Chain A
């Protein structure tokens, strides 16, 4: 049982490049979400999904897109990377939308130069 798997673990991008951060869970969880973690700011919600085909914006959605075509996968797309998007990104999943016990992936450390 792998839980929540994020790839890649590390990535360096040039300003303006696009890329997709992958997230997959094998627990049949309905609810999935993406957070970014910056020093001194805790975890901030980027986008979330309450089920396949349904996504919504979190606290800091600008510059990011998501889709949820299957229950298992919830990729995060950076459309045109900017240095302000340098951060550690975490994907999380939980059984239901009430999100009381979120399971987190190991994170993707992204640097935009």
Chain B
């Protein structure tokens, strides 16, 4: 099946720093999604990308759909304490009907 490699697995940063994470796939996707999961909660959709090369922002978050359709990137600018959590990428290939998730990036903010 399709594999999504997400990196880094974990990040320890100070408040105010910028964050970058990425996701790569062994095959192409038509849609890339980025989710955030807070402790004890289900994932919540942050950004959806539908077109190769697309760059979309949601407040301090910016995500890009890679030109090859096999990767996606998420940046968080000027991190704040509520950014702590696990970030998941997910990909969808039309006709497959199944959302494939990455393994997650755990973001921790060091006081």
Q: Which residues of A contact B (CB under 8 A)?
A: 4, 31, 33, 35, 40-45, 48, 50, 56, 58-59, 90, 92, 97-107
Contact = CB atoms under 8 A, between A and B. Distances in A.
Interface of B: 1, 4, 6, 9, 31, 33, 40-45, 48, 50, 88, 90, 92, 94, 97-104
A56 B98 CA distance: 10
B92 A104 contact: no
Contact of B88 (A42, A97, A101): A42
B51 to A, nearest CB: 12
B101 A102 contact: no
A100 B92 contact: yes
B38 to A, nearest CB: 10
A45 B40 CA distance: 19
Given A40-B103, A42-B104, A48-B98, A99 B92 contact: yes
20 contacts: A31-B97, A35-B101, A40-B103, A42-B4, A43-B43, A45-B100, A48-B97, A90-B42, A92-B42, A99-B98, A99-B99, A100-B31, A100-B48, A100-B50, A101-B45, A104-B42, A104-B44, A105-B42, A106-B42, A107-B40
